[in-house]
Amino acid sequence: MRKILVTGGAGYIGSHTCVELLNSGHEVVIFDNFCNSSPVAIERITEITKKPVTHVYGNILDQQAIEETLTKYQCDTVIHFAGLKSVGESTQNPLSYYENNVAGTVKLLQAMAKCNVKNLVFSSSATVYGEPQFLPLTEDHPLSTTNPYGSSKLIIENILRDLYASDESWSITILRYFNPVGAHSSGRIGEDPRGTPNNLMPYVAQVAVGKLEKLTVFGNDYETKDGTGVRDYIHVTDLALGHLRSIEQIGASQCLEINLGTGVGYSVLEIVEAFKAASNKDIPYQFASRRAGDVASCFAAPKLAKDILGWEAKLGIEQMCQDHWNWQYSNPKGYSLN
Ligand code: NAD
Ligand code: WQD
């Protein structure tokens, strides 16, 4: 049993991970400033798990607040989700991404070092692979980025590798997520994007529920099965279980990079069809030109996660769409009550 500080634990992936950690008997302290989430998510975590969740309202840039929290709750491990994640916004406002993601992580690491808490699981992203030079993407694929968000993740990865090289008493697991989608099977927690969604599945879900008129498919001239972009969508509950396995594996001196994906790629049009089937709703769409910075195809080699963590994704595209729809349909306004 571990006592885990979960930064960003009220967010989309963090809330699902807290549920799986609590269900497996771990203690959780959420550290979040709700800049992209709602306190209602924390109430729902308690509702699902029937376990108490401690929450500290705070910013990861506040090193002293992190130190006080680690000490007060005697945390032995940190899962670090807190960060900004919009690619488009990062190109408009790069400094807030470098401040929040990079400087915030440095403050967190300094607090951890001071409190002698040296077990860390970090949320990285497949975005650090840049334009794929080969597929599926193995962890040793060269790293590069095309936008400030991706650069912030790659800088943090490099900081973590440097930190470990300087002090091998750290145990660091860098998880590179592919495209998280879906929601908890209860329909009580899920992704609650502010404003119009940037990502495909939440956009499709809002078309299905009638909030948005139609989907714009960015590009139908890629060299893929039907000309639309191909991605490795992973159910957020599988992703959460990947964190649980990482926590249970962590301990020895290590600095690992591990993909969390399914290894299977679906096109935009395949997602539209799967979501239509799950929701029984029409999903009108129109084709438009490619979105700047998008790659044709991106999917994981998931073998290392299986070898090291004994983890593999179990839930298929039907379940991803079904659970995403269930969440969207029963919470059309997300967590907001009006
Ligand atoms: P999210 O925005 O739902 O969750 C992030 C949480 O961190 C939010 O609750 C937010 O309020 C909190 N937060 C942000 N800055 C903070 C700060 N300075 N101090 C305290 N709390 C802060 O995002 P998510 O989808 O759950 O993503 C979690 C992590 O996984 C992020 O680091 C993201 O970059 C990474 N990631 C996400 C995806 C994805 O597609 N969702 C893919 C790869 C990696
Ligand atoms: C998927 C496919 C689009 C919206 C992003 C980040 C990545 C990671 C996950 C955090 C692509 C197409 C999309 C729409 C469309 N996040 N699409 N119409 O771009 O693979 O990854 O989220 O780390 O860093 O870049 O995900 O869901 O935006 O797009 O046609 O309205 O859907 O072109 O082919 P992406 P996505």
Is position 273 within any domain? no
Q: What is the pLDDT of residue 251?
A: 76
Say how many domains are in the chain. 1
Q: What is the pLDDT of residues 166-186, one digit of tens each?
A: 999 999 999 999 999 999 999
The residue whose two tokens read 């680690």 is 70
Residue 222 annotated in active site: no
Is position 68 within any domain? yes
At 271, which amino acid appears?
A: I
Q: What is the pLDDT of residue 338?
A: 45
Atom of ligand 2 nearest to the CA of 150: 24
- Walk along the chain (338 residues) and give the pLDDT tens digit of each residue: 999 999 999 999 999 999 999 999 999 999 999 999 999 999 999 999 999 899 999 999 999 999 999 999 999 999 999 999 999 999 999 999 999 999 999 999 999 999 999 999 999 999 999 999 999 999 999 999 999 999 999 999 999 999 999 999 999 999 999 999 999 999 999 999 999 999 999 999 999 999 999 999 999 999 999 999 999 999 999 999 999 999 999 878 999 999 999 999 999 999 999 999 999 999 999 999 999 999 999 999 999 999 999 999 999 999 999 999 999 999 999 998 64
Tokens for 297, please give them. 């195809």
CB 234 within 8 A of CB 262: yes
Q: Which residue, judged by its Cα, is nearest atom 10 of ligand 1? A: 36
Assess whether the C-beta atom of 6 lies below 6 angstroms from ligand 1: no
Q: What is the pLDDT of residue 198?
A: 93
| Helices 39-49 + 12-23 axis angle, to 10 | 30
Is position 199 within any domain? no
Which residue out of 12, 97, 129, 149 is catalytically annotated?
149
Is position 193 within any domain? no
Is position 213 within any domain? no
| Ligand 2 centroid – CA 96 distance (Å) | 21
- CA angle 127-266-295, nearest 5°? 35
| Ligand 2 centroid – CA 232 distance (Å) | 10
Is position 201 within any domain? no
CB 208 within 8 A of CB 332: no
- Distance, CA of 205 to CA of 197 (rounded, Å): 10
Q: What is the pLDDT of residues 129-147, one digit of tens each?
A: 999 999 999 999 999 999 9
Is position 209 within any domain? no
Three-class DSSP category at 230: strand
Global pTM value: 0.98
Nearest ligand by distance to the CA of 148 = 2
Q: What is the pLDDT of residues 100-139, one digit of tens each?
A: 999 999 999 999 999 999 999 999 999 999 999 999 999 9
What DSSP letter does each residue of 125-186 carry, written as one string?
EGGGG-S-SSSSB-TTSPP--SSHHHHHHHHHHHHHHHHHHH-TT-EEEEEEE-EEE---TT
- Distance, CA of 159 to CA of 171 (rounded, Å): 14
The CATH number of residue 99's host domain is 3.40.50.720
Structural domain boundaries, residue 156: 3-183+233-262+300-313
Tokens for 196, please give them. 């119009």
Is position 276 within any domain? no
Q: What is the pLDDT of residue 337?
A: 65
Report the length, in residues, of the chain: 338
